[in-house]
Structure 1
């Protein structure tokens, strides 16, 4: 009799321990993602309110030289990117069909640089020129950055083997 209750107690203790670990991991990841999710929510709110964007379907955060937030969505039945300079809140709206897409920049990166994986791809201003920045990891484990002109799709900058 004593053996059965001891086994039950151990089972319950094991189940409780697993539940505590799982909940701890979930809470940890929620806390880790909170700044990103808060920033995304703010950027989407700005795009909706200031640029009249509806049907949001993308968000990217570029922190290379300065921090830029990009929201993709629809405005007046046209697909647009809303680029927000995080430092001063300056907003620029460009039609997506006025240049290359994120997928085109990613395809060019895969074709030209054959990375192990792409880390990020987002819009930013380089001076007055809008560019797609793609960060990637090489098969040798090094970092690389390549920038493509939004308007033409041509490579404008390459930093390899960091």
Structure 2
């Protein structure tokens, strides 16, 4: 192996290591922002007597950022807890899962009304004080679409579609 080949190999390996490190750091920072505050929200839900068991916690980014926790209360009832992530201490909202529609029912409503090409994501959130299922999908026109389905009655309360500009 010649001297030039060895130098090229060392430089290539160094570039790959640096690229991997930059990618890992960026991913870690992005992921950290997503889960930032989850432990505090879990603690709040447990301390306030809202939950005795926590199953999942997700971040919902709407007009107000919420941590949405799924779990059980002290009566062993399945509940959802919405913990607002604002400077003002807004009210933590607790609802029995049985008081609203399921994720599958929200998807069925969107399928019935808009017949999407493919569902991208479904998550619980909050919009203007109303618990919602946010259903994200691609429609037949290739638009990225958001439907807010009312948690209580299954009605679609907002429908937003974003058309992507085609690159020529």
TM-score above 0.5, yes or no: yes
Counterpart position of 2:139: 138
Give the corresponding residue for 1:29: 27
Aligned pair in 2 of structure 1 residues 40, 140: CA closer, same or farther (>3 Å)?
farther
* Mapped partners of 2:38, 2:138: distance in 1: 25
Flag structure 1 segments of 5+ consecutive residues without an equivalent. none
Distance in 2 (CA, whole Å) between partners of 1:140 and 1:99 is: 31
Quick one: distance in 2 between partners of 1:6 and 1:61?
Answer: 53
Q: Which runs of no fewer than 5 residues in structure 2 stay unpaired? A: 163-168
TM-score normalised by structure 2 residue count? 0.74
Secondary structure (helix, strand or coil) at the match of 2:36 reads: helix
| TM superposition shift of 1:68 | 3.0
CA contact (8 A) 1:84 1:90 kept: yes
CA 1:75/1:145 → structure 2, altered by over 3 Å: closer, same or farther?
same
Matches within 5 A, 1:29-68: 29-50=27-48, 51-63=50-62, 65-68=63-66
Query: How has the CA–CA distance of structure 1 residues 160 and 122 changed in structure 2, closer, same or farther, with 3 Å as cutoff?
Result: same
Q: CA RMSD in A?
A: 2.7
Q: Larger helix proportion, structure 1 or 2?
A: 1
Q: How does 1:7-156 map to 2 (within 5 A)?
A: 7-50=5-48, 51-63=50-62, 65-76=63-74, 77-87=76-86, 88-113=89-114, 114-124=116-126, 126-127=128-129, 129-153=130-154, 155-156=155-156
* Contact 2:101/2:153, CA 8 A, preserved across alignment: yes
Q: 1:20 to 1:125 in 2, by over 3 A?
A: closer
TM-score using structure 1 length:
0.76
